[in-house]
Amino acid sequence: MPWLPRAATCLPYRPTLGAHLAFLGAGGLALLFLFGFLRLALFLYNRELIGETPAPVFLEAFHNGLRFDLKLVAFLLFPLLFTLASPRLMAARWAVRSYFALLTPIALLLGIIELEFYREFHQRLNGLVFQYLAEDPKTVLSMIWHGFPFIELFAFWVIAICIFSFLFDFIERRTRSFPQANAGISSSQRGIAFLICFCLLVLAARGTLRQGPPLRWGDAFTTDSMFANQLGLNGVLTLADAARARFSAHRDNAWPSALPPEEARAITRDLILTTNDTLVDADSAAIRRDFFPPAEKTLPIRNVVVILLESFAGRYVGALGASGDITPQFDALTREGLLFTRFFSNGTHTHQGMFATMACFPNLPGFEYLMQTPEGGHAFSGLPQLLSARNYRDVYVYNGDFAWDNQSGFFANQGMSAFIGRNDYVDPVFSDPTWGVSDEDMFSRANIELEKLAASAGKPFYALPQTLSNHAPYALPERLPVPPVSGHGSLDEHLTAMRYSDWALGQFFERAKTSPYYRETLFVVLGDHGFGSPEQITEMDLHRFNVPLLLIAPGIREKFGAINRTIGSQVDVVPTIMGRLGGGTRHQCWGRDLLNLPETDAGLAVIKPSGGDQTVALIHGETILVQPKNDKPRLYRWQLEGGAKATRAPDEKTAADLQKKLDAYLATATRSLLENTAGGEGGK
């Protein structure tokens, strides 16, 4: 201000109340603009998900997002209210400016991370962030560096920080009052200003004028577009909710049932038990039973091989109706076995796929990472326990490190004894710096290990080969044996990895068919989970759960046909295996033998996303009930074949019935886990 006298420019700064409130208010508006900018970036970065959704739907999403952003900004401004306590604090503008300077890069960093996070998981920031941070930092950093456009995103972050830093500097300069205009500010004036601002921030933090609960997750779900609904949320708030759940006692996040335990257990038994089951230990175990499959439903097999395919989404499997020739080898194999077309993973993370498939225990709210919790040390009645009791030998063959997700610790405790991981391969065809060897290396080693087991001691065996190449950063051999996929936008690299993994699967079976053990082995091929696609079916995003299940064994097509449309999930795998082996089995699986159900039973699946999201769903027949925690359920009619879609079903009676069954199932399984009564034998 060159026109002021020099003495005036040297006076200590004494703010007016109006100038200070203008500074805080303008800073809050700048934060609001920042979060709106990040929402727009998320929208543009994932524009492939727009599809045919009309523009007004996204305008509604941005309106909903403004409410959530306003809620967050109110929380962020609360600490600054206390600067009204004295003129000296009001004069310390450097402190307020430093506060804004600290918030800006953090908010921008989270927003930039969310660009890729949402593209991969179709969810706003959630507990998966903490899960990955809790794992091996070297692997996580390698995944970020090799799997994402790190340099471009980092440059965007730096530029955005500079822009918003300039904006806050501009606000600070423009809201200064002239020194000679300063007048004394009484404590009563500051007190009244504090009270008014406090009330306004409380109102903004509630996000709504309604009586009852404040703004919450369900308030963003006002359209039929899942992308628009997710866009209406605020990633910082969803991450904060996940942090509260993550760093509280995980048992505190267990499913809150409204049913009495006895009623919940009775409903669960009606839901799971069949005429081939005889309940045992009814007073101490929820669904422990003796299972006697009819002899005519068994197969002439001795061995079992369960192949768990990373991110093998049914949406892109040719045998399930997909175009593009992504999975030609799997498609050819379906002509030799029985294909389940309406099968689902229990979660959206490999962790849940492993324990649901092999330990036949569901993915429960509060226990998504079961293998890493104390409860994961309990005895279950999965394949390792059931086949070890029959004197089976075993092997687990994997591309990567068994320390990840505590795989070796969990499965060794469950009864597996032989583990082949990334450090056990000699001269692999390809090894990437993040995960380990390629799928062709893993399958080649699996062939060798299975032939060894078949040739030694004359004992039957079971095995778990698990793939990994179809996981970000999709580090594949430089010379691919398959043509790269094109025409799918940002999914091209992922689908190329899926096609490569499918090729490696074909190589495995080509060699396995030349081995004598092949003719007496049941092969179970399934995905650990799917991944997102432009079509988001209900807020559960069903394409992330839909995976194929293929059974290959001598005589299976003759007895059971080529296609099965029964609804099932990974917890049904072990009972279905035991039903083909025959003989009496005592177990407590939370699924059923899909080939021993009454003709009138269309099957069911209880599914839940990973990342701490406590939304759960029950798929039953042509309907799916989606139940957010502490919110009203939503009932849909769904289909994936012949054009994926879901429409709301205003059937209150069906919704109430399914809600009760879902509540009972989750509550009973949770209680069994906490009481350590989920095993198949004795009191454990």
Helix, strand, coil content of the chain in percent (nearest 5): 50, 10, 35
CA angle (206, 209, 213) in 5-degree steps: 55
pLDDT of residue 136: 66
Neighbours of 397 (CB within 10 A): 24
Domain ranges in the chain with CATH number 3.40.720.10: 262-674
* Residue 317 structure tokens: 């499997």
pLDDT of residue 251: 66
Q: List phi, psi (to 5°) of 425.
A: -100, 140
pLDDT of residue 447: 98
Continuous segment of H or E residues that includes residue 648: strand 645-648
Q: Which stretches of the chain drop beneath a pLDDT of 70?
A: 1-13, 135-137, 146, 177-185, 249-251, 682-684
Neighbours of 449 (CB within 10 A): 17
CA atoms within 13 A on the CB side of 262: 1
Residue ranges of E strands in 446-529? 461-466, 521-527
- In 3D, which of 19, 334, 327 has the Cα closest to residue 178? 19
At how many degrees (to 10) do helices 350-359 and 573-581 cross? 30
What is the per-residue DSSP string for 87-127?
HHHHH-HHHHHHHHHHHHHHHHHHHHHHHHHHHHHSS-S-T
- In 3D, which of 31, 40, 38, 109 has the Cα closest to residue 74? 31
* Separation CA 470–CA 497 (nearest Å): 5
pLDDT of residue 9: 45
pLDDT of residue 552: 98
Residue whose pair of structure tokens reads 């398959």 in the numeric block: 482
Residue ranges of E strands in 240-384? 277-279, 289-291, 303-309, 338-340, 343-344
β-pair type (393-398, 585-587): unpaired
CA angle (275, 293, 577) in 5-degree steps: 120
pLDDT of residue 8: 41
pLDDT of residue 181: 44
β-pair type (521-527, 549-552): antiparallel
- Over the stretch 604-659, which tens digit does the pLDDT of each residue have? 999 999 877 789 999 999 999 999 877 889 999 999 988 899 999 988 999 999 99
pLDDT of residue 215: 87
- Over the stretch 190-202, which tens digit does the pLDDT of each residue have? 899 999 999 999 9
List Cβ neighbours of 157 (8 Å cut-off, separation of 6 or more).
Answer: 105, 108, 109, 112
For residue 437, give the DSSP letter: B
For residue 546, give the DSSP letter: B
* Residue 444 structure tokens: 């080649």
* Residue 522 structure tokens: 């049941």
pLDDT of residue 88: 86
CATH 3.20.20.450 is held by the domain 262-674: no
β-pair type (393-398, 461-466): parallel
* Separation CA 355–CA 416 (nearest Å): 13
pLDDT of residue 3: 41
pLDDT of residue 184: 59
* Separation CA 226–CA 536 (nearest Å): 6
pLDDT of residue 5: 42
CB 322 within 8 A of CB 533: no
Burial of 164 (0-12, 13-18, 19+ CB in 10 A): buried
Sequence length of the chain is 684
pLDDT of residue 388: 94
